[in-house]
Amino acid sequence: MNSWDESFSDTKINFDSPIPYYIQIKEKIKEQIDSGSLKYGDQLPGEPVLCNLFAVSRTVIRQALAELEHEGLVARKKGKGTFVSEPESFEKLSGNLSGFYQHMKKRGHLAYSQILKQEIVHAEKDIASNLNIKPGSLVLQLDRLRYIDNEPIVLTSTYIPSHFVPGLENMELSRESLYGVLEREYGIVISRAYRTIGAVVANEYHAGLFKIKKGDPFIVISQIEYSSDGTLFAYYHGLYRGDRNVFEVEMVRQ
């Protein structure tokens, strides 16, 4: 694993800048991660090596790494080294709002997803509008119905302009997080999203899918997702049964 030498060799800090050394170094390491030069699981050079590479004391390196660790970008293991962290599952960003699955799995409930649709389609007007593309443009549409104990609980639809994810329509997705696949296969990390949460009542189609009554309530979550280079990347839409305590959250002040 000597490729990092090359990655870092042309990233010297400016010793005359008013910006503290440790902040400059932190940002340079971030750039390596954001640019994809460093990926999940990659090991950073050890502290002594970084001291040499950047020509600063270990204090500075440790401070930069400590902050990166606090921000969740790296994980430091005594005796082993410093590693790029698994990207926070995008679900975690939702403030635990969608931790339902993991929660129920932990409790021993049967949880699985059924893929209803995974194909390239022409974007309808509202989808196109959300994605800021022309109606009729090609998008990858992924619809999943999620079950707990054989009961449909959540219907999710994700739309991604197809040129961003060539081949995704043929990939096996029932076992994996979409966001994990996006990073591994396409080097794409969702870093920002804009979400709205509302409530609607079930129409005929959804009532049938979920086996509930027309007029029963859903929580509806819509979000627009941006990748780390600022590109408007995906539109997500989720319908969650309103009567199943889908969202149970413990909040702790710390």
Q: Which residues of this protein are in contact with its own copies, per CB under 8 A?
A: 70-72, 87-88, 90, 93-97, 189-201, 215-220, 228, 240-254
Closer residue to its own copies (CB): 49 or 93: 93
- The letter for the amino acid at 83 is F
Closer residue to DNA (CB): 24 or 223: 24
| Residue 11 in the binding site for DNA (CB under 7 A) | no
Strands 217-227 and 190-201, by their bridges, are antiparallel
Answer for which of 30, 40, 49, 191 binds DNA (CB under 7 A) is: 49
Report 53-112 residues binding DNA (CB under 7 A).
56-60, 62-63, 65, 76-82
- Reference 96, options 237, 249, 198; nearest CA is 249
The contact mask relative to DNA for 12-41 (x = CB under 7 A, - = no) is: ------x-xxxx------------------
| Residue 230 in the binding site for DNA (CB under 7 A) | no
> In the complex, what is the shortest distance from the CB of residue 59 to DNA, in angstroms, rounded to a whole number?
4
| Residue 178 in the binding site for DNA (CB under 7 A) | no
197 binds, among its own copies, DNA, none (CB under 5 to 8 A by kind): its own copies
The CA distance from 200 to 252, in Å, is 30
For residue 96, which phi and psi values (nearest 5 degrees)? 70, 10
Residue 63: how many other CB atoms lie within 10 Å: 18
247 binds, among its own copies, DNA, none (CB under 5 to 8 A by kind): its own copies
- Reference 189, options 30, 68, 67, 82; nearest CA is 30
> In the complex, what is the shortest distance from the CB of residue 144 to its own copies, in angstroms, rounded to a whole number?
20
Distances (CA, A) of 2 to 8, 28, 31, 46, 184: 11, 18, 18, 12, 21
| Residue 94 exposure: Cα atoms within 13 Å on the Cβ side | 21
Q: What is the DSSP letter of 192?
A: E
Which residues are at the interface with DNA (CB under 7 A)? 18, 20-23, 44, 46-49, 56-60, 62-63, 65, 76-82
